[in-house]
Amino acid sequence: MRRLKVFTSLVKDSLDVTTQGSKKYHLWMAFLTFVMLVGMYCYSVQLEFGLSATGMTDRVSWGLYISNFTFLVGVAAAAVMLVMPTYVLKDIDFKQAVLIGEGLAVAALIMCLAFVVADMGGPSVLWHMIPGIGVFNFPNSMLTWDVIVLNGYLFLNISIPFYILFRRYQGKTPDPKIYVPGAILSVFWAVAIHLVTAFLYQGLQARPFWNNALLGPRFLASAFAAGPALIILVLAIIRNFTEFKIEDKTIKKIGMIVAVAAQINLIMLVSELFKEFYAPTHHSESAYYLFFGLQGKTALLPWIWTAIPLNVLATIILTFGKLRNNLNVLYFACFILFVAIWIEKGFGLIVPGFIPGPYGKIAEYTPTGIEIGVTIGIWALGAFIFTILAKTAIKIETGRLQFKGK
Amino acid sequence: MSDNKKWFSLNLSSPKKQSTGSCGCGKTSGGCGSHANDQISDEDFDAAVDAAIGDERKKDGFDQVFDVQMDRRTAFRKLTASLLIGAGAVSTSCSVTTGEDAKEKAQIDWEEQFKGNYKLMTDKERNATVERLVRSYQLRKEKTITMSSQNAEEDVLFGYAFNISKCQGYMDCVSACVEENNQDRNSQMEYIRIHEMKDGKGFKFDDADDNYYHEVPAEGHFYMGTQCFHCDNPPCVDVCPVQATWREDDGLVVIDYDWCVGCRYCMAACPYDGRRFNWSTPKVPEEEVNKNQHYLGNRMRKKGVMEKCTFCVQRSRAGKNPACVEACPTGARIFGNLLDPDSTIRWVLENKKVFRLKEDLGTEPKFWYFMD
């Protein structure tokens, strides 16, 4: 009964926290709400007219939604980069950052689920996929594996921080015996969510561009570069706008993680490019389309030739300790790396998988306004959720928010 | 032997028992050295299946949904989901001001929304859903359709052969298919693609034109048709998260349009461009609707679901040729039962130099090409 009382009080208090704040905060939340409403309007149009409101066709049947889904799974997986040293290796530096990382993971996962639902042709029959009520094609379909690991990861990333914050809220110290096993589990789980998502594509013999043993490892490397890069940027913002203390040391350490992951990612990219272009086969056509265009169809060229230089530049900056340890340079490198990987692992990965088609037909894909509206709306939803989570967590962590009643 | 094969292979000699006891040597009793004693018999297999999923086997579609053991949480989740969708239906069916027809419509919609997967239904349930769909069409359009739920017959495995020398690219097959299968006229959905290839270049699909609008046969070109190949080892079936698509016992790969959630994973998995998606609500002018339908075949689809060639299941299971075969003016298309040694298709397979597309993928299409 007491727990229930504390919980109700926590909910009330966090509602207070999230509805009060500076003018900037209110403007930010109003802006996000507006974008979300626009996204919802776009989605209602899509519901009415069907997926023909998007740029997808029978030739390119996955687009912006699935691209963003793939990328965000990586961001969610990256929370583990902070969990591991903090809870398992007892590196105290990361402790402040870890709650932020896990909040980011929760927001990213909710965005993932939203993107998948937005991509469905029949959202009203999605209950067919719920095990027990519907028919769950486990273990044959990798999509069912993905449903399991994503929801499991979401549960882990909600329950661990919730337990810690719940204890802190009551002025108690969290018991490591309870949360450390969960944290260790989530370390393995994070690798699983990303590997399983890669297998979703990797297992399709119909699409040579994806049917490639390096896809899974490359997913992991790019995720562990892009995710912590985003966390660094978020920490920088939080440091600026709140009284939450994050030491330079913490940010620099995460920067090192980003550097190593970006280097590995670049090595794998070189390996892939070598395989595709040294002895090109019929199966290299998708890569040719992506990097050079085929038969005058060049829609992806500007994107990929933005992504590759940014990727290389960021990796070079991050490699040199002197540059990396200058925080402003680090933020810049993290930002361009994030953008580069979003392009490369988003539609730079999904769209060429369909081009050329199974019989060599080259039909290009351009997202429509509706599709872009829904996508931006879902990103705003993620930012909204993250802001709420982070604001409450910071208040509790700094000891400003505590259970008063007895 | 069939247990430790390195890859899947289509077995025409004893396909019926392939999964349960026989081996690739074609004999049904010992002698080839690979009949181990520990192979389980058909009865044991059935018993084991019954023990494992016995309930599910006997359940009809409605029970699949409603007669499940569930805890409070799932019940609650289910209730909220159904509440949203059913609210409209309930308000009409409970209202005193709406007519009998509207009530019946709402009742049908409700039952259709929450029916189970056709693949797991009993014959009785299959008939029930077919009756509901026929009645629903009657109520809405005041026209009567016939819809079949005929199951696969014993000792039938459908196969298809395409004579590249004969095809002239007239595309009569394409229009016959569209008319027969009630495909969306707005988006001009077509299951069959005819690829116009240049003589002397071989099968170069990338240079081929599958969307031509000129007089055929064009000088210096030859033609080749593709559609769903009804693979014996179909990649699209494995990837479906809800088992809305499956391989029937007579080899047809079919879709339950009402169970499909529209994720399009099967489309990404198909190496043959065999699947189509309803990007918007399919439209067929009322007078052009083919009223001779099959649940798994040409019945009306809705937006947001997959569909594909079914070798015209409504015709092939009634002993007729698919519409494309019948419409072809050159006789380039041959269809039949692969298990019948006297069928034309078997003659073609045995006497012509046949080949299939992308055999290296191990999908075992039941669609062969040959030349005179």
The model's pLDDT over A322-334, given as tens digits with 9 standing for 90+, comes to 999 999 999 999 9
Interface contact B117, partner A, CB < 8 A: yes
Name the residue of chain B whose CA is nearest to A51's CA: B279
Contact flag B205-A359 (C-beta cutoff 8 Å): yes
Asked if residues B211 and B190 have their Cβ atoms less than 8 Å apart, the reply is no
Query: Across the strands, what pairs with B355?
Result: B369
The Cα–Cα gap between A45 and A57 comes to: 17
Contact flag A361-B210 (C-beta cutoff 8 Å): yes
The Cα–Cα gap between A344 and A331 comes to: 20
Q: What is the pLDDT of residue A268?
A: 96
The Cα–Cα gap between B127 and A21 comes to: 62
Beta strands B292-294; B158-163: pairing state? unpaired
Q: State the residue for tokens 């939803």.
A: A381
Name the residue of chain A whose CA is nearest to B275's CA: A58
Interface contact B268, partner A, CB < 8 A: yes
The Cα–Cα gap between B192 and B273 comes to: 10
Interface contact B277, partner A, CB < 8 A: yes
Q: State the residue for tokens 């066709």.
A: A57
Alpha helices in chain B (DSSP H): 42-58, 61-66, 72-94, 100-113, 123-141, 172-180, 235-239, 265-269, 313-316, 323-327, 344-351
Q: What is the pLDDT of residue B75?
A: 63
The Cα–Cα gap between B107 and B90 comes to: 8
For residue B36, pLDDT beyond 70: no
Q: What is the pLDDT of residue B96?
A: 59
Q: What is the pLDDT of residue B17?
A: 46
**Which member of B74, B239, B304 has the closest CB to residue A121?**
B304
Percent of chain B at pLDDT exceeding 90: 68
The one-letter amino acid code at B208 reads A
B361 to chain A: which residues are within 8 Å by CB?
Answer: 205-206
Token couple for A211: 């049917």
The Cα–Cα gap between A58 and A114 comes to: 22
The Cα–Cα gap between A137 and A139 comes to: 6
A360 to chain B: which residues are within 8 Å by CB?
Answer: 205-208
Asked if residues B283 and A49 have their Cβ atoms less than 8 Å apart, the reply is no
The model's pLDDT over A114-143, given as tens digits with 9 standing for 90+, comes to 999 999 999 999 999 998 888 999 889 999
**Which member of B64, B85, B361 has the closest CB to residue A124?**
B85
Q: What is the pLDDT of residue B31?
A: 44
For residue B14, pLDDT beyond 60: no
Query: Across the strands, what pairs with A275?
Result: none
Q: What is the pLDDT of residue B277?
A: 96
The model's pLDDT over B258-317, given as tens digits with 9 standing for 90+, comes to 999 999 999 999 999 999 999 999 999 999 999 999 999 999 999 999 999 999 999 999
For residue B38, pLDDT beyond 80: no
B238 to chain A: which residues are within 8 Å by CB?
Answer: 140-141
The model's pLDDT over B17-35, given as tens digits with 9 standing for 90+, comes to 444 444 444 444 444 444 4
Beta strands B367-370; B158-163: pairing state? parallel
Contact flag A130-B193 (C-beta cutoff 8 Å): no
Mutate to test the interface with B, among A59, A117, A147, A205 (most CBs of B within 10 A): A205
In the stretch 132-151 of chain B, residues with CB closer than 8 A to chain A read none
The Cα–Cα gap between A98 and B127 comes to: 57
Contact flag B259-A126 (C-beta cutoff 8 Å): no
Asked if residues B126 and B256 have their Cβ atoms less than 8 Å apart, the reply is no
Q: Read out DSSP for A10-56?
A: HHHHHHHHHH---HHHHHHHHHHHHHHHHHHHHHHHHHHHGGGGSS-
A119 to chain B: which residues are within 8 Å by CB?
Answer: 263-264
Q: How distant is the alpha carbon of residue A112 from its chain centre?
A: 7
Q: Tell me which of A198-202, B16-20, B81-85, B146-150 is least confident.
A: B16-20
Contact flag B261-A206 (C-beta cutoff 8 Å): no
The Cα–Cα gap between A222 and A220 comes to: 6
The one-letter amino acid code at A37 reads L
Contact flag B280-A206 (C-beta cutoff 8 Å): no
Percent of chain A at pLDDT exceeding 70: 99
Contact flag A122-B262 (C-beta cutoff 8 Å): yes
Distance from CA of A76 to the nearest CA of B (A): 22
Q: Tell me which of A15-19, A175-179, A270-274 is least confident.
A: A175-179
A363 to chain B: which residues are within 8 Å by CB?
Answer: none
The Cα–Cα gap between B327 and B333 comes to: 9
**Which member of A140, A141, A359 has the closest CB to residue B195?**
A359
Contact flag B74-A133 (C-beta cutoff 8 Å): yes
A49 to chain B: which residues are within 8 Å by CB?
Answer: 280
The Cα–Cα gap between B308 and B103 comes to: 33
CB half-sphere exposure, B133, CA atoms < 13 A: 26
Distance from CA of A28 to the nearest CA of B (A): 32
Contact flag A360-B361 (C-beta cutoff 8 Å): no
Query: Across the strands, what pairs with B275?
Result: B308
- From the list A228, A265, A232, A181, the residue with the least C-alpha distance to A80 is A228
Q: What is the pLDDT of residue A405?
A: 66
B112 to chain A: which residues are within 8 Å by CB?
Answer: none
Query: Phi/psi of residue B367, each to 5°?
Result: -140, 110
CB half-sphere exposure, A103, CA atoms < 13 A: 22
**Which member of B116, B244, B273 has the closest CB to residue A357?**
B273
Q: Read out DSSP for A385-397?
A: HHHHHHHHHHHHH
Q: What is the pLDDT of residue B100?
A: 84
Mean pLDDT of A54-68: 95
Q: How distant is the alpha carbon of residue A323 from its chain centre?
A: 26
The model's pLDDT over B87-128, given as tens digits with 9 standing for 90+, comes to 656 555 555 566 888 889 999 999 999 999 999 999 999 999
Interface contact B269, partner A, CB < 8 A: yes
Q: Tell me which of A145-154, B12-21, B28-37 is least confident.
A: B28-37
- From the list B33, B49, B43, the residue with the least C-alpha distance to B1 is B33
**Burial class of B367 by CB neighbour count within 10 A (0 to 12, 13 to 18, 19+):** buried
Contact flag A134-B78 (C-beta cutoff 8 Å): no
Interface contact B276, partner A, CB < 8 A: yes
For residue B56, pLDDT beyond 60: no
CB pairs under 8 A between A and B: 155
**Residues with Cβ < 8 Å from B110, sequence gap 6 or more?**
B86, B89, B90, B93
CB half-sphere exposure, A403, CA atoms < 13 A: 20
Which is higher by pLDDT, A86 or A395? A395
Distance from CA of B36 to the nearest CA of A (A): 27
**Residues with Cβ < 8 Å from A35, sequence gap 6 or more?**
A376, A377, A379, A380
Contact flag B303-A121 (C-beta cutoff 8 Å): yes
What does pLDDT average to over chain B?
Answer: 84
Contact flag A143-B244 (C-beta cutoff 8 Å): no
